[in-house]
Amino acid sequence: MRIDIISVVPELLHSPLQHSIMKRAQEKGLLEVHIHDLREFGIGNYRQVDDYQFGGGAGMVLMPEPLANCLDALMAERTYDEIIYLTPDGETFNQKIANQLSLKENLILIAGHYKGIDERIREHYVTRELSIGDYVLSGGELPALVVVDAVGRLLPGVLNDETSALFDSFQDDLLAPPVYTRPADFRGWKVPDVLLSGNFRKIEEWRYEQALKRTRERRPDLLPPEEE
């Protein structure tokens, strides 16, 4: 999968992609992330990318021309499945959307800044708008990284069996059960006996019950009516 991210602060994007699972995904050739500095498409000697908003009011807006030129250059090279704008008024990003996006080949993520991007880019280029939650961040870089990580870890071969995404929260509309590691007794706080029993059927049953209990307590909205 290839993901292109367009940003005015590309420096924010590099480090999180150079470690751990995202680094491995790229090294294995399963994920390509290309970061584009919008200023390279800026206008005039100062590489201007933002301007005052029509109608007055505080806050700058990312101009349509640099964004359109950057998008046109990318779209001339390949076909994109989705052009996604990260925005607080978008559809709330969740595991189902991450699953859907993980099946795509080429994605563009646009990180906004200041007051956001000119509405005409949203109308004429953007195919999907995603929010990572009901709060406002300074820029779309962190949301873009959230999407890259959530989607990238689902690509076949990125996670090994031990960390398989199938057992994570939300994959089956259940939260994940509790997990423990050594020592079995820490300050007198004991690991549940069943996990030390070696009885894999019983362990699976226990994990399912715990997942159900946790989901009922914390996120009953995820359960079908008969399980609530």
Nearer to ligand SAM, 112 or 177 (CB): 112
CB of 115 to ligand SAM, least distance (A): 5
Residue nearest ligand SAM, CB atom distance: 112
Nearer to ligand SAM, 87 or 215 (CB): 87
Q: Distance between CA atoms of 150 and 144, rounded to whole angstroms?
A: 10
CB of 117 to ligand SAM, least distance (A): 6
Provide the b/e sequence for 194-214 (b: ≥16 CB within 10 Å): ebeeeeeeebeebbeebbeeb
Nearer to ligand SAM, 66 or 88 (CB): 88
CB of 37 to ligand SAM, least distance (A): 16
Q: Give yes or no for a contact between 11 and 38, defined as CB atoms under 8 angstroms apart.
A: no
In the chain, how long is the greatest CA-to-CA distance? 70
Nearer to ligand SAM, 91 or 228 (CB): 91
CB of 42 to ligand SAM, least distance (A): 17
User: Which of 60, 12, 4 has the alpha carbon at shortest distance from 36?
Assistant: 4
Nearer to ligand SAM, 144 or 158 (CB): 144
Q: Give yes or no for a contact between 125 and 71, defined as CB atoms under 8 angstroms apart.
A: yes
CB of 50 to ligand SAM, least distance (A): 11
Q: Which residues bind ligand SAM (CB under 6 A)?
A: 86-89, 111-113, 115-116, 131-133, 135-140, 143
Nearer to ligand SAM, 5 or 86 (CB): 86
CB of 111 to ligand SAM, least distance (A): 5
96 - beta bridge partners?
none
